[in-house]
Amino acid sequence: MRGDLERVLVDEARIARRVAEMAQDISRDLLDALGVSERDGDPELDGGLTEGRIVFIPVMTGAMVFTADLVRRMPLKLSLELVAVSSYPGATTESKGARLAAELPQDLTDKHVVLIDDILDTGRTLGLLSELVGERGPASLRIAVLLDKPARRAVDVRADYVGFEIPDEFVVGYGLDYGGYYRNLPEIATLRADVIRGEDGPDGTTPTGRQDAEPKA
Ligand code: IMP
Ligand code: MG
């Protein structure tokens, strides 16, 4: 698997440090939003102060690894509700739009919601999800992503928490895939050009790694 890599953009240690910082920032902001202060008790010990108020919504499958590391560094009583969005009709390096592949939790009224994804690319996925969450009347909505590729934005979406801003390059690892593979790499890396352009490209990708077919929905 490592033989397919071209260059490591962010190594394991840097990811771990940044994820820990993000967990602290998000926890602090959620406690502020809930009006929980030190005098109300230690939120780490007294879960009652945040119980039923905080919902994290990771976008499967890419956000799986990031979410697992992030939430284990957060002392809050929170619940996790997975959502699935298919943004690619198969394996390709090109996003063609987003559609919801699993229902959002119905009851988000008055909850503090945090949408989590691996990467903010064109913004279609998180644009769609913020709209849908917004319709459910949450108390607040925040977006946390490990990576941001601002050069690629097509929809105006801003993340409240960004791990790393990266250039316009296709990356894999730490949850991000190409053709379903490489999610289990502990670092963020680019793939060798011949891996992306290989004729054996997964799921009918063209030699450029891009798929010409329009999404089915
Ligand atoms: P968006 O809707 O274009 O913002 O795309 C977001 C989704 O596209 C992410 O959740 C990823 O699954 C995928 N994606 C975007 N850029 C990359 C990349 O460089 N590598 C792997 N997946 C990517
Ligand atoms: Mg994804």
- Cα separation, 62 vs 116, in Å, equals 10
Tens of pLDDT, residue by residue over 115-151, are 999 999 999 999 999 999 999 999 999 999 999 999 9
Instruction: Calculate the average pLDDT of the chain.
Output: 86
Which mutation among 87, 117, 121 tests ligand 1's pocket best, with the greatest number of atoms within 8 A of CB? 121
Tens of pLDDT, residue by residue over 50-106, are 888 999 999 999 999 999 999 999 989 999 999 998 765 555 555 556 777 777 887
Residue 123 Cβ contacting ligand 1 at under 6 Å = yes
* Ligand 1 atom index nearest CA of 170: 19
Would you tell me the crossing angle of helices 12-33 and 64-71 to the nearest 10 degrees?
Answer: 60
Instruction: Let me know the angle formed at the C-alpha of 112 by 106 and 114, rounded to the nearest 5 degrees.
Output: 85
Strand, helix or coil for residue 198: coil
| Half-sphere CA count of 151, side-chain side, radius 13 A | 6
What is the amino acid identity at position 215? Answer: P
Nearest CA to ligand 1 atom 19: 170
Residue 30 Cβ contacting ligand 1 at under 6 Å = no
Residue 176 Cβ contacting ligand 1 at under 6 Å = yes
Nearest CA to ligand 1 atom 16: 121
Of residues 206 and 13, more confidently modeled: 13
Tens of pLDDT, residue by residue over 21-44, are 999 999 999 999 998 875 566 666
Q: Is there a catalytic annotation at residue 4?
A: no
pTM, to two decimals: 0.86
* Ligand 1 atom index nearest CA of 169: 19
